[in-house]
Amino acid sequence: MTTEAAEHTVPVHDNVEQDSAIPIITFENVSRIYPGEFVALSDINLTINEGEFVTIVGMSGAGKSTLLRMIYADDMPTTGRVFFYERPIDAIKRRLLPFYRRNIGTVFQDFKLLPNRTVFENVAYALEVQGAPNAEIEEEVPQILEIVGLENKMEFFPAQLSGGEQQRVSLARALIHRPRVIVADEPTGNLDPVSTWEIMQLLLRINEYGTTVVLATHNDAIVDRIKKRVVVMDRGVIVRDIAQGTYSL
Amino acid sequence: MNRITTRFIKLGRTLREGFRNFHRDGWLSFATVSVMTLSLYIIAMTFLLVTAGGALLKNIQDNVSISAYFYPSVAESRILDIKKELEDIVEIKSVVYISREDALKEFKESTSDPLILSALDEFEKEGDNPLLASLVIKATAPEHYEDIAKLLSLPKYADDISEVNFSKNQGVIGQLSHIINVTRTLGMTLGAIFIAIAVLVVYNTVRITMFARRQEFEIMRLVGASNLYVRLPSLYEGFFYGVAAAFMTLILLALTTYFLAPIAEGVAFGNISLFTLFVHYLGHIAVTIFFIGTLLGMISSAIAIRRYLKA
Ligand SMILES: Nc1ncnc2c1ncn2[C@@H]1O[C@H](COP(=O)(O)OP(=O)(O)O)[C@@H](O)[C@H]1O
Ligand SMILES: [Mg+2]
């Protein structure tokens, strides 16, 4: 750790470079206590601005996934609040949560692809469930598959693809409904270094187009290389928040 | 994008999904449909048996009557006066006068025994008629016959009426009513038990398919599928179970009533055939069974969905 990094500790509300920044995700005194008094998150304060690329790092069990789950409303804080722009997520009616989730694209370590559907169908699925017309699906799915470089493998099944390719399908699916935020929870956890770097470059490119990216990882090599903001977590608390991060566990 | 169009697109897609679930797990669906069929069949069969019994009962009741036989000495005008008196009583539906001549004619038509016929001829030659004039009385309800019989044995009729003849069907009616009531209770109880079993089975089937599809549910949620979109396929699945079971039930009913009809007719049902009844009530039965079946399927699925799918 550098001395510069040590200065950027919690609270992290005002660590932004530009004053024109618009907060898109805000954690306000968030704690998550699991049954049995297990504290997974403890009084988290974190602001992520529109267009930022934030990497959450920390050892396994640090609370990264718990934090990310709250962004896509899969889990709610025990105390404290999470905001999407000015809107508290816990105040969204259950019925409307699915519509909120369309603002967030998610990518996971295990890809979560449907094995009995082709690459095209897997990506189309995200539009199908929203009732998009077939014409729109036919048009947009190939476009997004071209962005992730899989335009030639649209009729392949997941089992016929490498891990890196599968993760690109998953990324394409996350992007198809043009989310504001991409949440990626250890997306490269199962990938070799080359594929890892391909995925990272894709995420960086998506971020350049204006999508906010929140990435959780315990791969320090990645963090050092991308030179973006790094939030370090340990046992449920944010221990450092580094604007142009390099990082070692 | 038009909201209505979106809705129809989703309806189509979830329907397809539900149907896929239904026919993908063949044995599971078969078992589920069988149990539902059994419950629907019991309900429908109970209805048919009770209806047939009711019709038979009415048939017998219509044929029940009380006959008052008059002494040969009583004048026809006196009998007709009594007839008038009786007709004014509310509990009495009809009174028919049968003169001695009518009685004789009827009797001769109903018998073919040559001995009896020759004996009657003998009487007729002497200008005599062994039969009595009578009034055949029908009550508005079977329970009134007792009172009517009492009325006819009042002293004021003692000089006119020689005999009051109560039809023997009375006992049969009581027995039949009892059988119908037992059938109804038994059928309804059995039906209710099997409905409960069917609900449990459909519930479990949907739960199992939901477990098999849990990965899909998770992905659906992650890509922002509406709750309805996630739930509809399972609901349709329940609906399809109901439709299939209703269909099976109708076929089963047609077969059993058709093949049972001759046996049942011989035993108890006289001219009322279960098959005829089935055909007559086919519309009612079909609608009711489809309604109960699909409702059963969808309610069971809905319970499974509520318990196993989070928002
Ligand atoms: N559903 C749960 N019930 C109980 N404890 C949980 C649950 N989910 C996570 N935890 C605990 O919370 C802690 C943080 O988990 P997680 O956020 O997954 O960490 P990370 O993603 O950083 O590895 C872990 O110790 C984990 O065991
Ligand atoms: Mg994790």
pLDDT per residue over A107-143, tens digit each? 999 999 999 899 999 999 999 988 889 999 999 999 9
Q: Domains of chain A by range and CATH?
A: 23-242 (3.40.50.300)
Examine the domain organization and report whether B282 and B160 are in the same domain. Answer: no
Please state the atom number of ligand 1 nearest to the C-alpha of residue A233: 22
Of the three residues B114, B131, B166, the one that is the final residue of a domain is: B166
Q: What is the pLDDT of residue A81?
A: 97
What confidence tens digit (pLDDT) does each residue in A144-200 have? 999 999 999 999 999 999 999 999 999 999 999 899 999 999 999 999 999 999 999
Tokens of B242: 């109901």
Whether ligand 1 lies within 6 angstroms of the CB of A179 is answered as no
Q: Which of B221, B22, B223, B231 is nearest to A132 (CA)?
A: B223
User: Which residues lie below 8 Å from residue B238, measured CB to CB, with a gap of 6+?
Assistant: B202, B206, B294, B296, B297, B298, B299, B300, B301, B302
Measured from the Cβ of residue A155, the count of other Cβ atoms closer than 10 Å reads 10
Q: Which residues of A touch B (CB under 8 A)?
A: 72, 74, 94-95, 97-102, 106, 112, 114, 125-126, 128-134, 136, 173-174, 177
Residues 6+ apart with CB under 8 A from B295: B242
Residues B95, B22 share a domain:
no
The model's pLDDT over B16-64, given as tens digits with 9 standing for 90+, comes to 888 887 777 777 788 888 888 988 888 888 888 888 777 777 777 777 7
Q: What is the C-alpha separation between A176 and B216, in angstroms, rounded? A: 17
pLDDT of A231 higher than 90: yes
B188 & B297 share domain: yes
Q: With a cut of 50, list the residues of chain B below it in pLDDT.
A: 267
Residues of chain A contacting residue B223, judged by C-beta atoms under 8 Å apart: 101-102, 125-126, 129-130, 173-174, 177
Query: Which residues share a beta bridge with B166?
Result: B66
**Do B290 and B160 lie in a common domain?**
no
Beta bridge partners of A53: A213
**What range does the domain containing B243 cover?**
3-60+173-310
Domain count, chain B: 2
**Which pair of structure tokens corresponds to residue A92?**
């969204």
Q: Kindly state whether residues B187 and B294 are assigned to the same domain.
A: yes
Quick one: pLDDT at residue A236?
A: 95
What is the DSSP secondary-structure string of B185-210? HHHHHHHHHHHHHHHHHHHHHHHHHH
| Ligand 1 atom with minimal separation from the A66 CA | 17
Tokens in use for A33? 């206590």
Reading the block at residue A115, the tokens are 């094995």
Contact assignment for A131 to B229 by CB distance below 8 Å: yes
Which residues keep their CB under 5 angstroms from ion ligand 2? Answer: A 65
Asked if A137 and A126 touch (Cβ cutoff 8 Å), the reply is no
Calpha distance B108→B103 (Å, rounded): 8
- Using a CB-CB cut-off of 8 Å, the residues of chain B touching A126 are 223-224
| Average pLDDT taken over every residue of chain A | 89
The partner residue sitting opposite B223, judged by closest CB among A97, A129, A131, is A129
CB atoms < 10 A from the CB of A95, how many? 11
Q: What is the pLDDT of residue A1?
A: 38
Of B10, B215, B223, the CB nearest to A131: B10
B87 and B235 part of one domain:
no
Q: Output the pLDDT for position B171.
A: 67
Residue A9 has pLDDT above 70, yes or no: no
* Spatial distance between the Cα atoms of B229 and B234, rounded to a whole number of angstroms: 10
Q: Given this model, what pLDDT does residue A202 score? A: 95
Residues of A in Cβ contact (< 8 Å) with B212: none
Give the residue whose CA is nearest to atom 16 of ligand 1.
A63
User: What's the A61 CA to ligand 1 centre distance in angstroms?
Assistant: 6
* Complex prediction ipTM: 0.79
User: Does one domain contain both B52 and B12?
Assistant: yes
Pairing of strands A237-242, A229-234: antiparallel
Say if residue B105 is in the same domain as residue B244: no
